Amino acid sequence: MAREPRRTLTAADLARRAGLWLLVAAIVLYAVFPFYYAILTSLKSGSDLFKINYFPFKWEFGNYAAVFSGQPFGTNILNSLIVSFSVVALSLFLGVTAAFALARVQFRGRATLLVTILGVSMFPQVAVLSGMFQLVRALGQYNHLTSLVISYMIFTLPFTVWVLTTFMRDLPRELEEAAILDGASSWTIVRRVFLPLMWPALVTTGLLAFIAAWNELLFALTFTLTNDKRTVPVGIALMSGASAYELPWGNIMAASVIVTVPLVILVLVFQRRIVSGLTAGAVKG
């Protein structure tokens, strides 16, 4: 009586463990394989492109060279870097100052403001597209990178303000009391008291803003016109061959790998912070 159940239990345990590992393997394959296959394709050329393989059998970097000679891809990468870093710097600066006011000062209309800001973060980009286009024209920024830095504020700023506000609100009150009694100005309090404590939140929000700006397509497609002003997503979206049926898959995959590898490394390094940032943005919302 005592022996029988124990033996079936171990068998069930084994089956359960095998099942778990199978599931884990399936999840990893699901997540990693498409990008791995893109890397494989980017290393092939000529008729090899049309053969299926699971491991690299040759290491050819011809596609990587072709990406930079066929179109101003280097310039596109530089444009994306300029835009993304400017967006991060601007939204963090505006976000920290606004978050201080929203999190640390009691004033009338604060709750309404927070809800409005959350509402803006849900704006569909297309809903403001023609108005934004006219704004960009009016400011004389059409086909300039500035147009992207300005317009990207619509999705990075509300998110940044929101996450930084929730973070700042949880800091203890005693922190600034001494500084207030010493007669320090609000600006000094933000710089000297809060900023040193906020690095984790700044890294998270900055990273998420960077990824959002780096990946954006709609505004970049609409507000830039010439190849030398395009960002990476537009460059890759518009990459085409001699005809619609002859897409240069090798080049496209090489370009895709180039712009994604830095992101993947960033994400793997800052994994924990990103997950906590995403949950803070979503659950508190």
Restricting to residues 27-86, which ones interact with another protein according to CB under 8 A? 27-28, 30-32, 34-35, 37-38, 41, 49-50, 52
Q: Do the Cβ atoms of 237 and 76 come closer than 8 Å?
A: no
Q: How far is the CB of 7 from another protein (least distance, A)?
A: 19
Residue closer to another protein, measured from CB, 74 or 262 = 262
Q: How far is the CB of 69 from another protein (least distance, A)?
A: 20
**CA gap 281, 106 in Å, rounded:** 22
Interface region with another protein, contact rule CB under 8 A, candidates 6-14, 62-70, 167-175, 230-238: 230-238
Applying CB under 8 A, does 254 fall inside the site for another protein? no
Interface region with another protein, contact rule CB under 8 A, candidates 20-28, 55-63, 65-73, 167-175: 20-28
* Residues contacting 253, CB < 8 A, separation 6+: 38, 39, 41, 42, 63
Interface region with another protein, contact rule CB under 8 A, candidates 3-11, 68-76, 195-203, 244-252: 244-252
The single-letter code of the amino acid at 201 is: A
User: Residues binding another protein: what is the number (CB under 8 A)?
Assistant: 87
Pick from 118, 152, 163: nearest CA to 278 = 163
**CA gap 127, 6 in Å, rounded:** 64
Q: How far is the CB of 165 from another protein (least distance, A)?
A: 11
**CA gap 200, 169 in Å, rounded:** 15
Encoded one letter per residue, x for contact with another protein by CB under 8 A and - for no contact, window 120-139 reads x-xxxxxxxxxxxxxx-x--
Phi-psi region of 183 (alpha: psi -120 to 50; beta: other; left: phi over 0): left
Applying CB under 8 A, does 115 fall inside the site for another protein? no
Applying CB under 8 A, does 237 fall inside the site for another protein? yes
Tell me which of 24, 89, 115, 197 binds another protein, using CB under 8 A. Answer: 24
Residue 18, token pair as written in the block: 């095998």
* Residues contacting 155, CB < 8 A, separation 6+: 121, 123, 125, 212, 216
**CA gap 127, 138 in Å, rounded:** 19
Please provide the DSSP assignment of 10-51 as one string. Answer: HHHHHHHHHHHHHHHHHHHHHHHHHHHHHHHHHT--GGGGGS
Tell me which of 23, 89, 175, 178 binds another protein, using CB under 8 A. Answer: 23
Tell me which of 83, 198, 201, 232 binds another protein, using CB under 8 A. Answer: 232
Q: What percent of the chain is helix, strand and coil (3-state, nearest 5)?
A: 80, 0, 20
What distance separates the 2 farthest-apart alpha carbons in the chain?
A: 86
Q: How far is the CB of 99 from another protein (least distance, A)?
A: 9
Site residues (CB under 8 A) for another protein, limited to 146-205:
150-151, 153-154, 157-158, 161, 180, 185-187, 190
Site residues (CB under 8 A) for another protein, limited to 83-102:
94-95, 97-98, 100-102
Residue closer to another protein, measured from CB, 75 or 113 = 113
